[in-house]
Amino acid sequence: MRNNQSPTSVITTGKEPPVNLDPPTKADAERVEDTKQKIVDKQSSGTGSTTLTGAKKTVKVAITYAGQYGQTVEVGAEVAVFEEGGTCTIKFSLGTSSFTKTVQAIQNVNRVNCPAVIVNSSEFNPKGAWSVMASYSSNTSSGSSDISTVGVK
């Protein structure tokens, strides 16, 4: 009930259809499989969180964590696409200094993960608030994240 009151009793008229607890019929199972396939087809057609641009889909990339842990800086990201074979590139920049690190993307249950890029803090010169951007590229998709900042001491 939506009125924030707990129901104290249920009144039935005796005319309600019985609940079917039997295993699904073949027709039910086929309908479920058809629905699953339609979802997969929709995701791979470029609709939803991806759009077609030329030969590649533009996908959303999000930095999931970025920080300094002891003497290392770690950055991880995820990509809103489900495919194999892509690479993730993390670009670090501060003023006129910049460098990139690339890792092989990993297909997860329903998206692509960019595994942790781990960089020794000695590679950051000068120390300070570095901008971090993650990008993803495969034969069929590409995209970049918003810029994040990580403080390096």
- For residue 61, what is the domain's CATH number? 2.60.40.10
Tokens 């918003």 -> residue: 146
Task: Write out the residue range of the structural domain in which residue 145 sits.
Answer: 52-152
- pLDDT value at position 5? 52
Task: Select from 112, 119, 120 the least CA-distant residue to 138.
Answer: 112
- pLDDT value at position 106? 95
Tell me the pLDDT tens digit for each residue of 95-108: 999 999 999 999 98
Tell me the pLDDT tens digit for each residue of 2-60: 455 544 555 556 676 776 777 778 877 777 777 777 776 666 555 444 444 457 999 99
Domain contains 17: no
Contact indicator for 136, 114 with CB cutoff of 8 Å: yes
Q: List the beta bridge partners of residue 120.
A: 72
Domain contains 39: no
Per-position b or e across 134-144, b if 16+ CB within 10 A of its CB: bbbbbebbbbb
* Mean pLDDT, residues 114-142: 96
Tell me the pLDDT tens digit for each residue of 66-77: 999 999 999 999
Domain contains 24: no
Could you tell me which residue, 65 or 30, shows the higher pLDDT?
A: 65
| Furthest-apart CA atoms within the chain: distance in Å | 78
Domain contains 75: yes
Number of structural domains in the chain: 1
Domain contains 34: no
Domain contains 32: no
- pLDDT value at position 14? 66
Cα gap 3→75, rounded to integer Å: 46
- pLDDT value at position 50? 44
- pLDDT value at position 31? 79
Contact indicator for 112, 146 with CB cutoff of 8 Å: no
- pLDDT value at position 109? 87
Domain contains 91: yes
Domain contains 5: no
